[in-house]
Structure 1
């Protein structure tokens, strides 16, 4: 890419697509190199994703802690709130005067890591075997 300051725009554009491959990425970079920007009316023949799906993974959660973790989440995450928004909510300000959120709290409490990502999808649900 000639203008490295456009990298974030390219990443955002790729994230809106239903599928992404290295060839599509190369085509977007070529377009930015030629036109200096990513046009809303791009000539790329790739459909935009209709849905964004949050994937939340709890790495290193010990098997013996699973039932306690499940009950804790059931007791603390309101039924009318998404898990993603609850994880992002502030929990406390720590000793270093840094804001911690609910994600930090459960990672500490259950000695594990919470990993969150979002994928673009043409379907509103994840299908077994679907690439993510």
Structure 2
């Protein structure tokens, strides 16, 4: 795989990684399993706590999603052997987490705008 193709993969593959990690750790569709995992991550053995915690932290979970994606795609970065997997793994996690941070920031800005609009509409309605 050429270096330019590897770079394209490096910036495209984190998109589904970030999507999966964010959805499992934040979105409403996984709320009940996540709440169960939060509860289990606070009690029991250390191994049990750590296992369940990984489903509540997008950074932690993104490592496992990345490992699955590497197995699925056989993507290696810079080197054609096992070292390429390691470089690719940490690089993909890093970029996926940048994407998730940007997404969180955008969502926060949108939520703030919705609150501001609702407050202004309420003020207008109170004046009438």
**TM-score, L = length of structure 2:** 0.24
User: Normalized per residue, which structure has more strand?
Assistant: 1
Higher helix share: 2
